[in-house]
Structure 1
Amino acid sequence: MNETADRVLGGCRIAVLLATAVVQVGLSLVRLDDTASRIAFAALAVVLVVAAWWVLRWKPVPWPVALPGAVVVLAAAATATWAMPPDQLFGDGDWASGLAGWHMLVLLLDRPVLAMAALVFHMTLTFLRQIGSAPTDRGEIGSAVIVGLSVLAFQAATLTLIRVVNRRAGEAAEASAERDRQAHSKALAEQREADQRSRFAGQLGATLPLLAGLADRTLDPRDEEVRRRCALAATQLRRLFAENDDVPDPLVHEVSACVDLAERRGLTVTLAVSGEAAPVPTAVRRELTGPLMTALVAARSQARVSVLRTGDEIRVAAITDGEPGAAPNGSGAVDVEWHALGERSWMEAKWRSRPN
């Protein structure tokens, strides 16, 4: 149950508690005329005080307290009812028949089925007391039944109304939360779109001088360095497109995009992935795949790429048969290492989700 529904139900508990206290002190205290009634009144008062310990703190009465409390209420009401002459039940002097039901609501408001069963059981005992004790005029019995059912119906309606209000409050809170989530999702989508446009603009801005050089023939497409720059720019754009895809494992998806473009250039690339998918921030994914793109662009014919995820650490590594001209370093979040292995080069980008 959400917080709003809890507050509404807590307020209803307090309202029922205060109403019961007013009825018991204001309307029932003056009607005590024998020892049995006084004992029953004291027992009901104790139950109300005990329940108030939780209700006034906006908490439901716990089950180990509510169940014994309900038994005490039934016993006290039965004591007062059976001490009263049958012809006075549901009359002006019968303070216990209606009051006990309100005590049941205080104790069992969070358990509506059990509360309704307790109300019906209590009223049934009262009817049996009147009908089974001695012959009574049918008119008096009918009047008593009408009064008893009216009390029961009013208390049951109160219970139902509180549950309906609580449910409606919960539904309204959920609808409000859903609107907030949708607004938040829309804002995030707009921010991602703006960020994506900014990155595309930045990438295209870095690529335009290369395209302009090829167009005005100041750059020779046969030159190895020019071809490497073109391959790197194409890989960066391909990875940027992949970054915007909605996939279960974005990091592997972006690594696969880099590998796919390398294979289109004629490289033989193997990709190995181990470990379960883990959330990686977008900025960190860029830094993990940046050195990989440099390594793949520098490769001459083949490369081995691996993505290793263990615990709170993620590694992206590549072994290629080429030497990158300018190997990029890592940032504070991602550590990058480059090593020469004979005619091969080894690169590893490492990120820890919980830094030491």
Structure 2
Amino acid sequence: MTGEPRAADDGSGVPAAGEKRPAAAGEPRAAGDHVHATMRIVLVCATGVLQLGLSLHPVLVQDCRHRWLAVAAFAALAGVTAVCCGWVLRRRPLPGALVAAGTAVVLAASFCAAVALGPERRFGPADWSFGLVGWHLLLLLLDRVRVLVTVLAAHLAASMGMFLSAGVPDRSALGAAGAAAFAAVNVQLAVIVITRVLQQQTREAAPATAERDHLLTKVLTAQQWEQHQHSAFAGQLGSTLPLLAGLADGELDPRDPDTQRRCALAATQLRRLFAENDEVPDPLVHEVTACVDTAERRGVDVSFAVSGAAVPVPAQVRRELTGPVIAALSAARSRARVSVLRTDEEVRVAVVADAAADVAAAATARVRVEYGVYGDHLRLEAGWRTRQG
């Protein structure tokens, strides 16, 4: 089948078009990590603003039993936020040891702040630590939802227990405490729900985005391949048109051996160029066969031998390897022998023909060419090392 770019990179400067990138097993997890990293940046900013903007003033001005204990709890919570910033701002997951130690410090700081304030003032206007501790727990345990909900529930239960330990409150105090706890917990649960929704949407959008990128890559690859083919054909036709123009104008004599050799050379080059676009298992042998077929149409008796298993050869290297074949077969008078030898280390293409001694093919940076004349026969061999070094 022709007219389609090959899936593998053939060295023509065009990336693989048909090869679909396999889905990575960690893509859903990567999507979740991206959401958690973004949400943690929001949380670290919110926690810092809440602690410095709303909690610092009560710690400094309000009367409490043990001010030093409240100050120590405030400093511990600020320290946890500061330590987490090192990972959060780099969008990296928090280490497990940091999460465990930070959670313990936050819960201990909450207990110390409650003790310093007094259990009867828990959930009141002076209780700066209850809601703030929940934001610290969100920052630490956002990607561990079950643990986070468990710790938040335990923190709420412990706070309620401390509040009730001061005695049975009246209805107004109980209602105010319930409203404060409900408001704080609702906001924190809303953050968990929002994070889960964003994570799910990101996971659902990831395959669609990957497919869109894949299709865009295929379109760009096809465009590059088409431009490459246009350039290749334009270059080949550019060298053939003067020959055709000379024949049409009568400047070249079709009976002249040199003109016949030039026509044979142009025909072989075009046939090999057409064969380059065919979708075949062994492109090198296919292109050499195309050169052989063109020579046989001119009446040249060509024997063709292939040795070794097929190895991947880039398109540009195949052009350079088949150059001696084209040069020798286009100059062959009646007989030629072509051989292709492939190993794991080297690919060689050799031609022996009863051709003129002035036929030669130039070596390139990647392909070495050996040239020799033996009586009435010309031998050209091109070699390419599959492992450069």
Asked if residue 19 in structure 1 is aligned to residue 51 in structure 2, the reply is no
Give 5+ residue unaligned stretches, structure 1.
none
SS at match of 1:94: coil
Output the amino acid matched with 1:219. Answer: P
How do 1:96-111 residues align onto structure 2 when only pairs under 5 Å count? 96-109=129-142
Residues of 2 paired with 1:327 and 1:56: CA distance? Answer: 64
Q: TM-score, normalised by structure 2?
A: 0.67
**Cα contact 1:238–1:261 (8 A) shared by 2:** yes
Residues of 2 paired with 1:160 and 1:256: CA distance? Answer: 66
CA-based RMSD of the aligned residues comes to 4.5
Task: Give percent identity, aligned residues only.
Answer: 36
Residues of 1 paired with 2:288 and 2:141: CA distance? Answer: 59
**Cα contact 1:235–1:258 (8 A) shared by 2:** yes
Asked if residue 272 in structure 1 is aligned to residue 304 in structure 2, the reply is no
Residues 164-188 of structure 1 show CA distances to partners (whole Å, capped at 9, x for unaligned) of 6686598598688668646643541
Asked if residue 191 in structure 1 is aligned to residue 235 in structure 2, the reply is no
Residues of 2 paired with 1:71 and 1:249: CA distance? Answer: 66
Residues 46-91 of structure 1 show CA distances to partners (whole Å, capped at 9, x for unaligned) of 1112112333455444444334223322333344457765554433
**Cα contact 1:90–1:144 (8 A) shared by 2:** yes
Q: TM-score, normalised by structure 1?
A: 0.72
Residues 86-125 of structure 1 show CA distances to partners (whole Å, capped at 9, x for unaligned) of 554433233222212222333345xx2x1x3343123211
Q: What's the offset of the Cα at 1:198?
A: 0.9
Q: What's the offset of the Cα at 1:337?
A: 1.0
* Structure 2 CA distance for partners of 1:98 and 1:331, relative to 1, 3 Å: same
Match of 1:219 among 247, 250, 254: 254
Give 5+ residue unaligned stretches, structure 2.
1-26
Output the amino acid matched with 1:117. Answer: R
Asked if residue 242 in structure 1 is aligned to residue 278 in structure 2, the reply is no
Deviates more, 1:157-166 or 1:286-295: 157-166
Residues of 1 paired with 2:302 and 2:170: CA distance? Answer: 102
Residues 302-325 of structure 1 show CA distances to partners (whole Å, capped at 9, x for unaligned) of 332224552xxx543214353454
**Cα contact 1:329–1:337 (8 A) shared by 2:** no
- What does residue 150 of structure 2 align with? 121
**Cα contact 2:352–2:379 (8 A) shared by 1:** yes
- What does residue 350 of structure 2 align with? 318
* Structure 2 CA distance for partners of 1:5 and 1:123, relative to 1, 3 Å: closer
**Cα contact 1:66–1:107 (8 A) shared by 2:** yes
Match of 2:288 among 255, 264, 277: 255
Deviates more, 1:249-258 or 1:324-333: 249-258
Higher relative contact order (CA 8 A, sep 6+): 2
SS at match of 1:117: helix
Asked if residue 205 in structure 1 is aligned to residue 241 in structure 2, the reply is yes
Asked if residue 29 in structure 1 is aligned to residue 64 in structure 2, the reply is no
